[in-house]
Structure 1
Amino acid sequence: MIMQTSSVLSSEGKLKLIIFDCDGVLVDSETICCQVSAEEARLAGMEAPEEKAVEQFSGMALSLIQKKIEKQTGKNLGHDWISKMQKRFIEAMADHLEPVDGVYDMLKRVEKLSVPVRVGSNSSALEMDLKFKKMNMTPYFQDRIHSAQDMGKPKPAPDVYIKAASDEGVKPENCIVLEDSDTGARAAVNAGMMCVLLRAPGLPAPDWPGLKVIHHLSEFSDLIENTINIQKE
């Protein structure tokens, strides 16, 4: 059943902006980056089994991962650790990056609805540029991307989503965010936006006000189309 979203978005029920997370929503890089992070954590002496990499590091900006490793190991990873990790991510993604299942069909359907789109991610702008070029997604977003890492305010802080809405000239209550991690979903909810959480069937999901859980990107397209139809009534 498609959620009736009009009363959630604003008093007028107007959807004016869609904001996508990047990793795990558009490109399937979340697992790759989490595994690289877990490997680095183990090298530093932290317990980080490969099979729990996503559970431990999903949705986290590199600055937060560094703090987590340093706190648990008592080691100083150095001021250049983040830049080294960015290079490792880029090298890993060059060989293993894939689009999330259904993403191209979803983007085409959303594009036809003429709703503005932006991206808000914990990845750096450099990483996102590489991902979108490799996956041929650049035409959908151009320069409409926002990096929480580059802002110095990683999720779950809401700043990256508030910035995206501000640059579009719309209010938070007129935005829908598509996320895949609890960390990112918390950022969207904290920003005062409705959040749609992409989560594999059978996996637990938070039960927060303003949060809608889906299991495939086709469901997101249906939800947006339904929202637009409600606005026309």
Structure 2
Amino acid sequence: MKHTKNKHITHLICDCDGVLLDSESIALTVLHRQLASYLPHSVVQGNGQTELALHSAISERLGMMTNQLLDEISAQFDLGLLAPDYSLINMVVSRACSEEVTAVPGVIEVLATIPLPKAVASNSSLQRIDAGLRRCGLLELFEGHIHSGHDMGTPKPAPDVYLAAAAGFKAPPQQCIAIDDSVTGVRSAVAAGIRVFGFTGVAHDRDQATERLLAAGAELVFHDMQQLPRLLAA
């Protein structure tokens, strides 16, 4: 873990999926199952290397808005996805995440001990964020301060959703700290001028995720929510 100098922080901004909600593994499983069905039959029946590459490619892009992820995966694997495919995949992923999601272990108890005002800055839609937070008993902690890059039309890695969260507090970005689990999200916070801690507690490959988040600009990476109060106090 990399340490940082003390600076005055007054507000906390959290990504949603993978930080508050343990939905990344659900999304990864559903996306892989859906997209693998578009691979040529000969590839699926082969040595499995393409399916492994597909799984890895999806994992690396979690945190992107789903349509952007689908654009890149379709191009990389020549899947030929059409508009109805996008609609179907989005619907299946959203439904699975809404119906199966659980809170990240320890996050409810930890956030209750942190006295900073809190906001959400996510690439998911407001409807999906609201449903997930409500299901997991987290909505009240963030109500009135939930921001969606999807609904703004300028998703991460653009800085807009993090800037909107800071503006919602009427706080300078430099006095905020972000918690994000994806390269896309870390780059967004950095571009907004907001310090960012990377979180890998529910990552598919924790070591690889740590390297990527640090390379993207996270000033430290942690894997257990119980560590967060101490890190913020430091």
The TM-score range, normalised by the shorter chain, is 0.7 to 0.9
1:67 is paired with a residue of what secondary structure?
helix
- 1:214 maps to 2:208: no
Q: Are 2:186 and 2:216, in contact at CA under 8 Å, matched by a contact in 1? A: no
Q: 1:212 to 1:65 in 2, by over 3 A?
A: same
Q: 1:94 to 1:67 in 2, by over 3 A?
A: closer
Q: Are 2:57 and 2:73, in contact at CA under 8 Å, matched by a contact in 1? A: no
Q: Are 1:27 and 1:99, in contact at CA under 8 Å, matched by a contact in 2? A: yes
Q: CA RMSD in A?
A: 2.5
Q: 1:54 to 1:28 in 2, by over 3 A?
A: farther
Provide structure 1 residue ranges, at least 5 long, that are not aligned to the other structure: 8-12, 227-233
Cα distance, 1:85 vs structure 2: 3.5
In structure 2, give the amino acid aligned to 1:145: I
Match of 1:178 in 2: 179
Q: Are 2:186 and 2:217, in contact at CA under 8 Å, matched by a contact in 1? A: no
Q: 1:95 to 1:149 in 2, by over 3 A?
A: closer
Cα distance, 1:18 vs structure 2: 0.7
1:22 is paired with a residue of what secondary structure?
coil
In structure 2, give the amino acid aligned to 1:159: D
The Cα offsets for residues 78-105 of structure 1, whole Å up to 9 and x where unpaired, read as 1x55553343123213543111111011
Cα distance, 1:57 vs structure 2: 3.1
The Cα offsets for residues 198-232 of structure 1, whole Å up to 9 and x where unpaired, read as 12554442246562111211111112234xxxxxx
Match of 2:25 in 1: 31
1: CA distance, partners of 2:152 / 2:28: 21
2:178 is paired with a residue of what secondary structure?
strand
Q: Are 1:185 and 1:195, in contact at CA under 8 Å, matched by a contact in 2? A: yes
Cα distance, 1:6 vs structure 2: 3.1
Cα distance, 1:159 vs structure 2: 1.1
Match of 1:188 in 2: 189
Match of 1:131 in 2: 132
More displaced stretch, 199-208 vs 213-222? 199-208
Q: 1:2 to 1:48 in 2, by over 3 A?
A: closer
Match of 1:230 in 2: none
Match of 1:45 in 2: 39
Match of 1:21 in 2: 15
The Cα offsets for residues 119-162 of structure 1, whole Å up to 9 and x where unpaired, read as 00111111111101110111111131111111121211111101
In structure 1, give the amino acid aligned to 2:12: I
Number of residue pairs matched by the alignment = 216
Cα distance, 1:40 vs structure 2: 2.6
Q: Are 1:62 and 1:149, in contact at CA under 8 Å, matched by a contact in 2? A: no
Q: 1:41 to 1:56 in 2, by over 3 A?
A: farther
- 1:77 maps to 2:85: no
So what's the TM-score if we normalise by structure 2?
0.81
Provide structure 2 residue ranges, at least 5 long, that are not aligned to the other structure: 41-49
